[in-house]
Amino acid sequence: MRILKLKKMTTEKLTVEQAIEKGYTHFIEEEGERLEKFSSLDDFNKEYFKTKVCFLVDMSAPYHYSLSADAIRDIIADHVAGQEDVVDDDDKLYNIAHEHDYSQLAEELNKKFETQKYYVTTTIQVVF
Is the sign of the CA dihedral 39, 42, 45, 51 positive or negative? positive
pLDDT, residue 14, reads 96
**Best-predicted range by mean pLDDT among 18-27, 85-94, 114-123?**
18-27
**Residue ranges of the domains in the chain?**
2-63+117-127, 69-113
pLDDT, residue 45, reads 87
pLDDT, residue 59, reads 94
pLDDT single digits (tens) 51-94:
999 999 999 989 999 999 999 999 999 999 988 888 888 999 99
Bridge partners of residue 125, in order along the sequence: 13, 55
Burial readout 46-56 (b: 16 or more C-beta within 10 A, e: otherwise) = eeebeeeebbb
The secondary structure of residue 115, as a DSSP letter, is: T
pLDDT single digits (tens) 31-55:
778 899 999 988 888 899 999 999 9
Element (H, E) at 43: helix 43-50
pLDDT, residue 2, reads 61
